[in-house]
Amino acid sequence: MDNTTRKLLKILHLTPDQVYHVFCLALCLVCSDGKVSDREAEMLTRIGFGLGLSPQDIQSLLENAKSAVAETSVADVVAYSVASLKKSLDAERLEGVRQILEFIATSDRHMSTEERNLLQVITDAWTAPSDSETPSQKESI
């Protein structure tokens, strides 16, 4: 994990719920191309540690995320996590999370088309005006 990613993890000050959603997005991202390289798995674990998670926490989050995907779909899990983070984080912190996700996606020195597409969906969702903004707020953006 590079120094920028370490710094981002420290300054984001995420709640346990936000940590869960960041980790779910990271997991969905690395799994989006149908394979998880050893390097991606290592970076996912390091990101988990950087978020303050223990090995047991990481295992529990993996099981919860897999269960959520099995009960719904990857798209539903991504949509829920993206919406939850957009609602609870400001634009600067969302950009920090996006940078972390990009770092994970490129950790194996290759970003697949599926990873790139999912990262773009996340970026687009976080940069689009939210439904709770008034028309005048949307116009001023």
Domain boundaries, the chain: 15-125
Q: How far apart are CA 78 and CA 29, in angstroms?
A: 9
Q: What is the pLDDT of residue 98?
A: 93
Say which amino acid occupies 54: S
3-state secondary structure of 139: helix
Q: How far apart are CA 63 and CA 109, in angstroms?
A: 27
Q: What is the pLDDT of residue 58?
A: 87
Q: What is the pLDDT of residue 136?
A: 43
CB proximity list for 16: less than 8 A, separation 6 or greater: none
Homologous superfamily (CATH) for 15-125: TerB-like (1.10.3680.10)
Q: How far apart are CA 33 and CA 106, in angstroms?
A: 13
In the predicted model, residues of the chain with pLDDT beneath 70 are: 1-11, 130-141
